[in-house]
Amino acid sequence: MSSTASKALAGLLSISISCAVTFALPRLVTTAVMSPDGAADVMHLTDEPGNWFASEATGTPVTVIEAGERVDFKIGNCCTNTRHTVTFIMQPEGSSVDLDQDKSQMGTLSATFEVPGVYLIVCKIHPYMTAVVAVLDEGGLARALDG
Ligand SMILES: [Cu+2]
């Protein structure tokens, strides 16, 4: 794994193990233009180390959206030569959004994020592929974990 990928993964993992962490995320990131079909952002699953998940809005594996917005995850020929899963491994308490697959696949998977907080996503086939969806609350914050 490259140094850049290692740092990115370490950063994402530190989010997953931190308790009561609050991110003051730059509001600028949330000004992404919605795609014509209504998704707030599109994350492409790629073959690019460090950007295995690549947000169209940020160009990184991290996207920032408002509550109630949808993110589309695209596994397609533009960006990867293999199949993946999009699997939530951490999400805010009270969130009922569910995304997981029994088998790797191609295609588009969508999720609408109703509960503010930090959602950690992994590909089960390639567990070094991680992504974060940060859903802002009314105060513009995305809390990793409550309590
Ligand atoms: Cu994968």
Cα dihedral 141, 87, 107, 126, rounded to 10, equals: 110
Measured in Å, residue 37 CA sits from the centre of ligand 1 at 25
Give the residue among 69, 78, 75 at the shortest CA–CA distance from 87: 75
Cα-to-centroid distance, 145 and ligand 1 (Å): 26
Report CA(98)–ligand 1 centroid distance (Å).
Answer: 18
Distance 85 CA to ligand 1 centre (A): 6
How many A from CA of 140 to the centre of ligand 1? 31
In the reported structure, the alpha carbon of residue 6 is separated from the centroid of ligand 1 by a whole-number distance in angstroms of 17
pLDDT band at 108 (very low <50, low <70, confident <90, very high): very high
For the chain, the structural domain boundaries read: 3-143
> Which pLDDT score is estimated for 70?
97
d(CA 17, ligand 1 centre) in Å: 22
Is the CB of residue 75 less than 8 Å from the CB of residue 85? no
Per-residue pLDDT reduced to its tens digit, 17-74:
443 445 444 443 444 455 667 999 999 999 999 999 999 999 999 999 999 999 999 9
What's the pLDDT score for residue 10? 46
pLDDT above 70 covers what percent of the chain?
Answer: 73
Asked: is 3-143 a CATH 2.60.40.420 domain? The reply is yes
- CA of 120 relative to ligand 1 center, distance in Å: 15
Distance, CA 147 to ligand 1 centroid (Å)? 32
CA contacts within 13 A on the Cβ side of 109: 20
